[in-house]
Structures are given as C-alpha cells and as structure tokens.
Amino acid sequence: MKNFINRFWWLFPVLFAASLFIPIKCVLTTPHFWAISSLLTFVAMIVTWVLLLIFKKWWRFLFSFILGALTVIYFIYLLCIGIEQMFNPGPDDFGKEHPIPTTLAYNIPFEEREELPCPIDSIASNTWLQIWNDFQGGMYTYDFYYPALEEGEVFLRCYEATENIPLSPERISAASMVATPSTTSFSKVVEKQCFKIYPGDWGDYYAARIEVWHNDAKTGKERKLMEKVYRVEGWQR
C-alpha cells in the first residue's frame, strides 16, 4: 500500500477532477453513474490524503490537497454561474429583433385606472376586447365582451404580428382561459383575467396579434371570435 501511494498519490485528485468536468451531456444521460463515480473518487482522494499524512509525505499531501481544493472551488464557481444563468438568463432581444413597422396600426394597452375612450357596445366590435397593463411590464389583464355565446371556455392566442410567431402558446392559453356559461345577449364574459407575454424584455415594444378563441363545451370545437393588434413588451423574468 505504501509503495502504491508513493507512486500513484496524484492519481485520485486527477480522477476526481476528471469526474467533475466530464461533458455535460454525459452527466444528463447518466446522472447516477456520474454521482457515484465522483463520490468514490472523492473518498479515495480523502483516503490518499490520510495515508500521505501517516507516511509523512508532506509535500505530496500538500500538492494533492491543493489540487483537490482548487478543483472543488472551481466546480462550485461554475455551478454558481450555471444556477445564475438558469434563473437570470440575461436580456431577451425578441422585441429588438421585431420592430414595429411604421405602417402597422396597433392599439396600446390601457393603464389600470384609465377610462375607456368609448363605451362598450355591440356596434363597435373593436371595443369588445380590452387589454390592460398589470403591475409589471409584460403582465396584462383583459376584458372581453361578446354577443350570444355557447357555454364553454374563452382563451387567448398571441402571435408576433409581422412574422406570425406564436408567443408562449401553452402558457398564455392556460393563463387566459376562463370558463363561461351560455349567454343570450351581448355581455361581459371575461373580466380582468391575467396573462403574461414572455418573449422580450421591459421597454422593448413589438406588435402582437391577440386572438380571442372559444372552445364549445358540448362539441369541443374551437373558433376564433376576434383579433386585435397591440403594442406589447415581454415580461422580464
């Protein structure tokens, strides 16, 4: 054992470093093997340190300890960077990459306490859908009025207006969905329902086509009730 330690004292710190920095694809596909191999090499490295101290191989212990410690510190540093990027991925340039054409007509969401410019009625269909700014950029609420409507669900689908790019379709549809009873006359079917538009960042405005859809509870058929183009920004998550 002493001869082995004297000759291969450097082996386990190197193997430990290698086990921590194997390609990320291997870690994702074989996480258990990666964890077990890293743990075993770490234990072997600790045992090697103990034996080097017992055999009084001071400089070899010091060199091995420094190598192992630097490996752990650097790994923790990379791990912290990865966690930060996961929760703070940096700027989203979707809005900058999709400027609003000067010829495109669009609406601007109302502020929370802003009065509507015209009354909601069954004649001006453009007023049936109203989007309101919520307390942060990219967060919105909507009101929706409609004539007689079958029982079912009302929800939104949003698209970037110039290139028809879907904007977080599953999230927006789920967040904006409201169960509605059948109605026999023009009435408010959705009031202040919240949803978020994710692509983009605060202040980077672009045009979004916001479509209102209805899913019939009896037939399961979906149909688009109306659409309206708004100037929007992304939620800076």
3-state secondary structure of 134: coil
Residue 115 gets the label, from left (phi > 0), alpha (psi -120 to 50) or beta, of beta
Instruction: Indicate whether 32 and 104 sit together in one domain.
Output: no
Per-residue pLDDT, averaged over 76-105, amounts to: 76
Among 68, 87, 106, the domain boundary falls at 87
Q: Give the range of the structural domain holding residue 57, as residue numbers without chain letter.
A: 2-87
In a domain, 8, yes or no: yes
**HSE, side-chain direction, 13 A CA sphere, residue 6:** 5
183 and 103 share one domain: yes
Q: 75 and 107 share a domain?
A: no
Decide if pLDDT at 24 tops 50.
Answer: no
Are 141 and 170 contained in the same domain? Answer: yes
Indicate which CATH number applies to the domain containing 223: 2.60.40
* Count of structural domains, the chain: 2
Classify residue 13: in a domain, yes or no: yes
- Residues 133 and 75 occupy one common structural domain: no
Asked whether residue 76 falls in the same domain as residue 159, the answer is no
Q: Which residue has the higher pLDDT, 40 or 46?
A: 46
Spatial separation of the C-alpha atoms in residues 46 and 66, rounded to whole Å? 12
Residue 124 lies in a domain: yes
Supply the pLDDT for residue 38: 63
Confidence (pLDDT) at 25: 43
Question: Does pLDDT of 105 surpass 60?
Answer: yes
Q: What is the mean pLDDT of residues 17-46?
A: 58
Note the pLDDT of residue 89. 55
Cα gap 149→30, rounded to integer Å:
53
CA angle 91, 94, 96 (to 5 degrees): 90
